[in-house]
Amino acid sequence: MSSAAVALLVVSLVVVWGGLAVSIVALVRRPERADYPEGGEHEGRPAARPDGPVEHDT
């Protein structure tokens, strides 16, 4: 392998594993969001039929 290939390999490994480490640290520090608004799961919409077409609000 050439020196350029080794350098690119090292840089890509640092980016991937560094991103994983930063993500783990961020999740350990703040595991769950506490600023969600009040509300329920259904928001007053009727339940979808399991055998019917999917209806969108567009």
The 10 Å Cβ neighbour count of residue 17 is 10
The reported pLDDT for the residue numbered 2 is: 95
The pTM score is 0.49
Read off the pLDDT of residues 2-49 as tens digits, 9 standing for 90 and up. Answer: 999 999 999 999 999 999 999 999 999 988 877 777 766 655 555 656
In this predicted structure, what is the pLDDT of residue 4?
Answer: 96
Give residue 6's pLDDT: 97
| Cα 57 from Cα 39, distance rounded (Å) | 19
* DSSP letter assigned to residue 32: S
